[in-house]
Every structure is written in C-alpha cells, then in structure tokens.
A and B are shown apart, each in its own frame.
Chain A
Amino acid sequence: MQEASPAPVHVHAPPTGFLRKYVFSLDHKVIGLQYYGLALAAVTLGMVLSWLMRFHLVWPTIRVPGLELISKVGAPGGIITPEYYLSLLTMHGTLMVFFVLTNAPFAAFGNFFLPIQIGAEDMAFPRFNMMSFWTTFAAFLVLMLAFFIPDGPPISGWTAYAPLSALGSDAGPGLGWGQNLWAISIALFCVGSLLGALNFIATTLDLRAKGMTLMRMPICTWAWFITSCIALLAFAVLLPAVLLLILDRLAGTSFFIPSGLVVSDRLQPHAGGSPLLWQHLFWFFGHPEVYIAILPSMGIVSHVLINSMRKPLLSAKVIIYSMLSIGFLSWMVWGHHMFVSGMNPFSSLLFSFPTLTITIPATIMTLIWLGSLYGANIRITSAALFALGFISMFVSGGVSGFFLAQPSIDIYLHATYFVVGHFHMVMGVASIFGVFAGTYFWFGKMTGRMLNETLGKIHFWATFIGTYCIFMPFHYLGLVGNIRRYSTFVDDFMGPLMPLHKFITIAAFFTGAAQLIFLYNLAHSRFFGKPAPQNPWEGTTLEWSVPSPPPWNNFGDKHPVIYHDPYQYGVNGLKGDYVMQDSPEQIVGGV
C-alpha cells in the first residue's frame, strides 16, 4: 500500500557536479565513505607514530633517518627527544581514540548502513550530516597543524590532565600552541560528533520503513543507535570541559588550576581551580567513550557472525538488552580511572562495584555469541574470521578488566603497561577487528567491488597472531611494575624486561607491515576487484535488497516494507536457507 509508506522526507534530485557529488555531498553513503577514508588516514598515521615510539623505546640511541626533517627540535639528528616521544604518544592516542575508534565503527559504517538497514532514503538531516563530517575533518586538520608549528604537538597525553595541559608553555614544550590546537581540535570534534549523534537518533526514531519496528532492527543498527545516545551525552560533557580548558589557557581563568603553583621557576597567576574537576569531566566522557568505540563493533560482529553461522543468535534481544545495560552502566563507572587520584577513598568502592557489574552484561554477550556457535554451519570468510577474532580479543582484553576494576589491585597496576595492554586489546584491537569484519563484509556493498578473500585471510592471520604478540606481553610487563608513558627506561629494574620490549617492538613492526596487505587489498579491489553482486553473502537485512553500490536514494522509488525479524537464517526460504526482511514469503522451518 503506497500511501501507508512513510512519506519521503527529502525530495531532491541526485547532484550532478563533482563537488556536490563527492566532496560536499549530502548523501549518507558518500559521507560514510568520507568518514572511512578519514579514519584510514588517521589509523595509518597513528600506527606510524606507534612504530616510532616502539623503536625509540628499545633502540633509543639509533637515529631514525629523515625524522629530523619532520621535526628538527623534536628529533635532533634523528634521535627522538623525551618531549617528542610524549608528543607522539599524545597524537597517537588522540588520533586513535577520536579519529579512528569513534569514526570508523560508528560514524563511517553507521552513516553508510543505518539508513539503509532501516529502509530510509537518507539521514534525517542530510545537511547536518555533511556538517558533522566537515567539522570532524576540520578537527583533524587543526590537530595535524600541531605537527608543523615550532612548538610541536602537545605532550600531555590524550587525557590532557590539568594543570599540565592548562598552564601553557611554562609547563613544557608543546604545551603552548600545540595544546591550544589540540583543545580546539577536540572541541570541533565534539561538535561534529554531537551533530552526528543527533542525526543518528532522529533517523532511527523517525525514518524507519513500514513494518520496521524497533525490535526488527538489525543488531548493528541497535548498536549504532545506543552508541549515538551515549555519544550525545558524552560529547556534551567533553565539549564544555574542553572549552573551560581553553578559557584557562587563553582567557586567564582558573577552572582547573589551583593557587601557589610554581612552574619553570614562575609562580603562576592562577587560584581556586581544581585539577580533579578536569579528571572527573574528562572521564565522565572518557569511560562512555570506550563503549562508543566498542559497541558498534559488537553490533557489526553480531551482524557478520549471524550471517556466517547461517543461524540466528540464541537471543538477539538479550544482546540488545546487554548493550543497553552496558550503555547505562557506563555512566556510573568513570571513577575507576581515578582510584589513586586523590579523590575520597570511599568513592573508589562505589565506582568499583558498577565496574565489576559491567562484567555481567559483557559476559552474557560473550556467552550468547559462543553458545550461538553451537549447532551452526559457519562459513569461514575473512569477515567471519575477524568476527571470531573479535570474540577472542574481547575475552582477552576483558578479563584484565577484572584486575583494574578492583581498587586494591589498581594500587599496584595503575599506570603500568598492564593498563596499556588491557585497553589496547579490548578497546583498540577488538574494536578494530569489528571494523575489519565490517570492511570485508560490506566493501562490496560500499564500492560495488569485492575485496580479495585470499589476501583478506592472510591479513587476518598476520593481524590476529601479531596483535596477540604485541598486547599480551604488555600485561606481563605491567605485572612486574613497568610504568607506561616513559620515553626511556632509565630504571635499573628494566634490564631484564628489555628482551620482552624488543619482542613487542618487532611484533609491532610485523603486524603493522601486515596492514599493508589490507591497504593494498582496499586500493586494488576498489578498481580491479570482482564486481559485487547484490547479495554476495546471502544476507537477510535490507542492505542486501539494494544494488551494490546502492543508488542515490537507496531504494529507488520503492518503499521497502518489512515482514520479518532481521535474521531469518536456517529456514527453508525460496532462495535458500534464508528469508530476507522485506520478502513477504512465509517462514518455513527454522531453529
């Protein structure tokens, strides 16, 4: 029934000019690809930065040829100075957390697939959507500018703890304009993310096709929806926090700076601020940010896994409720980053309990994924391998959370490599595995050409083994008490740990080099890959009901009507063991 379909919100012709089509495009698919490209640039740079850090840690006196051309002050004669190491560290963290882990699984895939999966023609606010990408892009440029100013990039870490980040260049190199640019970049990023999150929420709530009830949405759509709700609240806290930081730095206010500080032999003209306020504001954003990074990947992995298993999950509802409860609990746990920060020790107990409680929904999700594998008929594709690898990584990175959630153990392990191992595995690698799974799964839909599966599998094995080789040993280092964020290990106790550090560095080079296979695969397949059929993986959700790549308005003049729950696999359908969401046929069989 035509009149029962939702009225098209935006009636406009496809753009014709190059600028409108590919640059300042209003099309959610182009914007999704733009986000993906930005994340790809950021992750490549972030990885190179980590190489430099790892290299410097184990071979501090060996020159890095050419590095002095990039920064004469930061790397005189090609040898990285302590502050440049911290600059690299800060930029690595900022790029990875904001421009990769927030952009790739959430903004890139979410933009491309959320409207299609709910049967919408575009986002609710296409102009907002374009603005959010270009604001994010501006944030990226502003951040990059920090590499090229004489002062160099900031050295206060991606957490930018005040007052180090608030005092200006007295507190060290990079803390002048470098830190200003960082703060401006993050503020812009917040604006972009807030616009994006609003858009996702409005689109999900308002633009679903006929029959697409909330519980009929694919799990990844749910994940993007929950993530946008978290992002809307989280970035709404970070934005004012960063603005206050900018005021402290440029307008002489003292939100985060107390009185009586003597920095570089100068008594600072500030009084009355609280450094802990910054930590509270930052982590009130920062912990939910972890779930902003991981939830979309959980959704993507579930989506890919179901398709590869050829059967639905034991319960999609339980996964969705678990994600909701993780999203809810994420607001009560920020203090676990601050157990030894000098806040009231009683509050540590209060923060510890919900942190440990988050383990419950996380374990439920893991057990549902594992249990769903039972009785499946798994098709091992590159996407499936990365999805399975995600589960493994999520478990490995998750169990170390048990340790850090307990204040008593955190006294010993806080600020050691144990923490670095923990968050890299669970937030970094696991989330990136979700992105890889999504890329191998959806590349054909996004570009019209399939990725090479053989290269994909080689890429998986190298990455899977490589990342374990890098990040498992981090935990061991932490257990011995190896401090993070040290540019050189001058300590006597470090001697026996150096071989392990060397192993990690070599593993990092190997794993990084393996990513070249992925980059090659992307570049080559984009132009020379096999043309993608409409539904290469025999999927059930709406993105597989449109051509690859989808046309300008996704569904042509049709308005999809939804008849089923999203994952009708393992049934006797007309086309095979599956029935698509928009197929009016009756479901026969099933598990």
Chain B
Amino acid sequence: MGKLFAVVLVIIALVSAYPIVTHKYVQPEDISTHGHAIDEQLSDTMAESGFAFLGAQFLLAFFVWKFTERKDGAKVRHMPGGAKVMVVAAFILVGTEVLALGVFGQKAWASVYFAPAKSDDLQVQVQAGQFAFYFRYPGPDGKFGQLHPDKIDEGNSNFFGLDPANDVESRDDVVAAELAIPVDREVHLLMHAKDVGHSFYVRELRLQQDFVPGLDLSLHFTATKTGKYEILCTQLCGLGHYNMKAYLDVMSQDDYDKWMKEKVSEQ
C-alpha cells in the first residue's frame, strides 16, 4: 500500500504540473506598461513554488515507498543530521525566497501604486454601482460637475447624480457605459462607489482595485494595444455581481476623438 501511495502521489504531482509546464492555462496577453513586471514576478514565483511542490511531493513519495512496512527486525532510525538540518534547510531555502520575492518583488507593486501620474493624463471618473460601471468625462469645458447622490435617477440615465439645472459645469459632462480611452496615453481613473463595495478588474491590464464606499480612490495606467477588453467586478456586491461588467475600448487617438465628439453631441 505504501508503494501504491508513492506511485499515485508521483502521478498526481506530474499531472498537476503538466498544464503549468506546457502553459496550457496562462493569463491573457498583457496590454499595459506595468504588467510585464507582474508577469515576470508570477513566472518567477511559479518556477520557485513549482520546484518546492514537486520536490516535496517526490520526497514524500520516495520516503513512503522506501520506509513502509519494512521486514521484521528492521530497526527504526533517524535521518542523519536530524532536525537541525531541516531547520537550517528551511531557513536557507525559504528565507532566501522570502527575501527574493518579498523584497525585490515589490518593484512590480511599486510600479502600479507608487509611480506618480503624469500631468497630461486623461482623467476619467468611474462609478461602480449595483450592477454596472459608468464612466464620466469632463466634456468640452474640461471640468467635472458636482455630484449629488440624492439626484441619482437611473431611469433617467442620471447615474452620477448630476444637477444640470443648477450646475453649468455638469451639463456637458459625458457619461458612458464603456471606458473608451486612447491608446498609449496615461489614464487616471477617479474611482468611487455608489452603493456597496465593488472592484475594477481588467485581466489584460493586470489591474485590480476595489471601490470602497466613502473613499475616493485613484488608479492610473497606460494601455498599449487597441481592442475591446472586459472590465469585471471582482468584489461580491449582490445578486447581479456575476453580471457586473463593462468594456474597456482602447482606441487610436483619432477614433477616440471621433467617439468623444459623438458623445458630446448626445449630452
């Protein structure tokens, strides 16, 4: 039975590792300027933990194979070196890993959160609410109108709670259900939640950030490839959570200008 355990364990370990080694399931193509750092960190970690995973499973299988129900009279004995070897090994193996991953790996995090936004970035406000994202551009006047939660009227497409009757700056604000942005330009998202917690997740951008009710958060990124990508909510927000998504439409500058013109005329 011990030998069977060893064989099954080795098979499980190999089968588990197979789709990883063959890159059968991988993240979609990265379209951001910072994503490569995250991807590298991910693949480094995959290599290190893959090594740890296979090593430990094989060692377990080997020892169980070798030391199960030995013939009568076989005297049990300890591994040479005993616990000390194991403790030292753990400190060296994992300690360096902790250092390597924990310290050097923070660069990728820093590239997302600690690099300041450029001054010429495109500011877009995004509001998450049950169960849709809405995006607001300041419009031709370059100014966002004030928000009044009590004025929110979804049936009338006033998702943000603008007050065009009294607030001139809000009259030309462009509100859209998709996030249209020009390619290769830094975008600065100003995020707030309308009701409960939500999250902004674009796989291809390697970006995820929660919306926290009561907090104004921001996020900036540059998309490097045109196309349509899904924006998903990843924070459980209620019954329509599975359906809470929008599209990120990365366009050429010309297409973006055209799109914006059309939207401005709709307001």
- Give the B-binding residues of A (Cβ under 8 A): 81-83, 86, 155-157, 159, 161-164, 167, 171-173, 175, 257-265, 267, 273-276, 309-311, 313-315, 318, 340-342, 345, 348-349, 352-353, 356-357, 359-360, 363-364, 366-368, 370-380, 385, 388, 391-392, 395-396, 399-400, 402-403, 405-409, 411-412, 414-416, 457, 461, 464-465, 468, 472, 476-477, 479-481, 483, 485-493, 500, 569-570, 577, 591
7 contacts between A and B (CB under 8 A): A262-B194, A399-B49, A411-B206, A415-B201, A481-B28, A487-B242, A493-B203
Residue pair B101, A310 in contact (C-beta under 8 Å): no
Query: B35-43, B162-170, B249-257: which one contacts chain A?
Result: B35-43
Separation of A485 and B152 alpha carbons in the complex (Å): 28
Nearest B residue (CB) for A402? B49
A555 CB, min distance to chain B CBs, angstroms: 30
The listed residue (B12, B98, B210, B213) touching A341 by CB distance below 8 A is B210
Residue pair B78, A380 in contact (C-beta under 8 Å): no
Residue pair A412, B28 in contact (C-beta under 8 Å): no
Is B93 part of the contact surface with A, judged by Cβ < 8 Å? yes
Separation of A294 and B109 alpha carbons in the complex (Å): 30
Residue pair A409, B41 in contact (C-beta under 8 Å): yes
| Known A86-B241, A403-B42; further 4 A-B contacts with Cβ < 8 A | A378-B68, A399-B50, A402-B45, A402-B49
Q: Count A/B pairs, Cβ under 8 Å.
A: 325
Taking A261-B149, A486-B242 as contacts, is the C-beta distance between A342 and B210 under 8 angstroms?
yes
Residue pair A476, B25 in contact (C-beta under 8 Å): yes
Separation of A267 and B152 alpha carbons in the complex (Å): 9
Name the A residues within 8 Å of B129 (CB-CB): 262
Separation of A164 and B235 alpha carbons in the complex (Å): 11
A269 CB, min distance to chain B CBs, angstroms: 12
In the complex, chain B residues 50-70 whose Cβ is within 8 Å of any chain A Cβ: 50, 52-53, 56-57, 59-60, 63-64, 67-70
Taking A406-B101, A409-B45 as contacts, is the C-beta distance between A380 and B5 under 8 angstroms?
yes
Taking A86-B241, A412-B203 as contacts, is the C-beta distance between A276 and B212 under 8 angstroms?
yes
- Give the A-binding residues of B (Cβ under 8 A): 1-2, 5, 8-9, 12, 16, 19-20, 24-28, 37-38, 41-42, 45-46, 48-50, 52-53, 56-57, 59-60, 63-64, 67-70, 74-79, 82-83, 85-87, 89-91, 93-95, 97-98, 101-102, 105-109, 112-114, 129-130, 149-150, 152, 154, 161, 193-197, 199, 201, 203, 206-215, 217, 230, 232, 234-243, 245
Name the A residues within 8 Å of B215 (CB-CB): 258, 275-276, 342
Residue pair B101, A356 in contact (C-beta under 8 Å): yes
Name the B residues within 8 Å of A258 (CB-CB): 213-215
The listed residue (B60, B154, B235, B238) touching A373 by CB distance below 8 A is B60
Question: B57, B67, B93, B243 — which one has the most chain A CB atoms within 10 A of its CB?
Answer: B67
A408 CB, min distance to chain B CBs, angstroms: 3
Residue pair A493, B28 in contact (C-beta under 8 Å): yes
Taking A342-B210, A493-B230 as contacts, is the C-beta distance between A472 and B67 under 8 angstroms?
no
Separation of A81 and B50 alpha carbons in the complex (Å): 39
Residue pair A318, B197 in contact (C-beta under 8 Å): no
Nearest A residue (CB) for B24? A476
Taking A262-B152, A263-B195, A570-B76 as contacts, is the C-beta distance between A395 and B106 under 8 angstroms?
no
Residue pair B76, A408 in contact (C-beta under 8 Å): no
Residue pair B9, A392 in contact (C-beta under 8 Å): yes
Name the A residues within 8 Å of B98 (CB-CB): 353, 356-357, 359-360
Name the B residues within 8 Å of A457 (CB-CB): 1
The listed residue (B82, B109, B199) touching A345 by CB distance below 8 A is B109
Name the B residues within 8 Å of A491 (CB-CB): 230, 232, 245
Residue pair B83, A371 in contact (C-beta under 8 Å): yes
Residue pair A370, B59 in contact (C-beta under 8 Å): yes
A312 CB, min distance to chain B CBs, angstroms: 9
Name the A residues within 8 Å of B57 (CB-CB): 392, 395-396
Name the A residues within 8 Å of B234 (CB-CB): 414-416, 483
Name the A residues within 8 Å of B130 (CB-CB): 171-172, 263-264
Nearest B residue (CB) for A468? B12
Separation of A164 and B131 alpha carbons in the complex (Å): 13
Residue pair B67, A377 in contact (C-beta under 8 Å): yes
Residue pair B213, A412 in contact (C-beta under 8 Å): no
A311 CB, min distance to chain B CBs, angstroms: 4
Nearest A residue (CB) for B206? A412
Question: B12, B63, B203 — which one has the most chain A CB atoms within 10 A of its CB?
Answer: B63
Residue pair B213, A407 in contact (C-beta under 8 Å): no
Residue pair B149, A267 in contact (C-beta under 8 Å): yes
The listed residue (A82, A310, A591) touching B242 by CB distance below 8 A is A82
Nearest B residue (CB) for A490? B243
Taking A262-B152, A487-B242 as contacts, is the C-beta distance between A340 and B210 under 8 angstroms?
yes
Residue pair A314, B235 in contact (C-beta under 8 Å): no
Name the A residues within 8 Å of B201 (CB-CB): 415, 483
Taking A155-B238, A340-B209, A363-B94 as contacts, is the C-beta distance between A477 and B25 under 8 angstroms?
yes
